[in-house]
C-alpha cells in the first residue's frame, strides 16, 4: 500500500514537471536565457558545472547499487568521486588556461602591442565586434584545449584519479575500522 502511494506521488510530480517544461524550453524568456548563457559561460565554466552536477549524483548511484557487494561498492564510490574531481580539475584548468592563452595571443593590433600578442588575431579585425571577438577567443581556446587534453588525460587525470581513489579508500577503511587500519 505504501509503495503504491509513493509511486502515485512520484508519477504526479513527474507529470507536473513535464507540464511545466515546454514553458521553460521554448519562449522569449528561454531564448534570452540560452543566448546569454551561451555568450557568458565558456567551456571551462561548463566543465565545472558538469563536474559539480556529477559529484552530486553519480556517487549515490554507485553507493546504492545492490548488485555488488559492500567492499566493491565502497571502492566504486571512491573511484567515481576521484574520477570526477580529477577530471573536473584538470578539464577546467586546461580549458581556462588555453582560453586565457588565446586571449593573450589574439589581442587587437595597435600601437605598443607586440606582434606575438596578435598571433591568433583574425586579419579582418575591424569588422569584428567585441562580443563576437570574445566568442572567437573562447572557441579557439576550447579547440586547442581538446588537443592538450589528449595528453593530460594520461599524464595528469589517470595518475591523479589513482592517487585520489587510494586516499579516499584509505580514509573510508580507516573510518570504518574505528580510526585504526
Return the pLDDT at 23. 61
130-152 vs 43-63: helix axis angle to the nearest 10? 50
* 61 belongs to a structural domain: yes
Report in angstroms the alpha-carbon separations of 21 from 25, 30, 135.
6, 11, 29
Which residues constitute the domain of residue 68?
42-177
* 65 belongs to a structural domain: yes
Question: Which among 7, 88, 93 is positioned nearest to 54, based on CA atoms?
Answer: 88
* 8 belongs to a structural domain: no
* 125 belongs to a structural domain: yes
* 60 belongs to a structural domain: yes
* 26 belongs to a structural domain: no
Q: What number of other Cβ atoms are within 10 A of residue 80's Cβ?
A: 21
pTM of the model: 0.74
Helix (H) or strand (E) holding 28: helix 28-40
Percent of the chain with pLDDT over 90: 41
Distance CA 141, CA 122 (A): 14
Give the count of domains, the chain: 1
* 161 belongs to a structural domain: yes
Query: Given pLDDT bands bounded at 50, 70 and 90, which one contains residue 21?
Result: low
Average pLDDT over residues 39-60: 90
* Residue-averaged pLDDT of the chain: 85
pLDDT at residue 173 is higher than 60: yes
Phi-psi region of 27 (alpha: psi -120 to 50; beta: other; left: phi over 0): left
* 1 belongs to a structural domain: no
Amino acid at each position: 500500500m505504501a509503495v503504491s502511494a509513493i509511486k502515485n506521488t512520484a508519477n504526479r510530480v513527474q507529470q507536473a514537471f513535464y507540464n511545466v517544461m515546454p514553458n521553460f524550453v521554448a519562449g522569449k524568456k528561454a531564448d534570452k536565457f540560452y543566448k546569454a548563457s551561451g555568450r557568458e559561460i565558456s567551456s571551462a565554466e561548463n566543465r565545472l558545472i558538469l563536474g559539480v552536477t556529477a559529484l552530486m549524483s553519480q556517487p549515490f548511484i554507485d553507493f546504492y547499487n545492490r548488485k555488488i557487494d559492500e567492499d566493491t561498492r565502497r571502492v566504486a564510490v571512491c573511484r567515481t568521486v576521484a574520477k570526477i574531481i580529477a577530471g573536473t580539475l584538470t578539464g577546467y584548468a586546461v580549458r581556462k588556461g588555453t582560453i586565457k592563452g588565446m586571449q593573450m595571443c589574439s589581442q587587437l593590433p595597435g600601437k605598443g602591442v607586440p606582434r606575438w600578442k596578435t598571433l591568433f588575431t583574425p586579419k579582418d579585425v575591424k569588422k569584428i565586434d567585441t562580443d563576437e571577438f570574445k566568442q572567437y577567443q573562447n572557441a579557439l581556446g576550447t579547440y586547442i584545449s581538446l588537443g592538450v587534453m589528449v595528453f593530460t588525460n594520461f599524464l595528469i587525470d589517470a595518475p591523479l584519479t589513482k592517487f585520489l581513489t587510494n586516499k579516499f579508500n584509505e580514509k573510508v577503511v580507516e573510518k570504518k575500522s574505528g580510526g585504526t587500519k
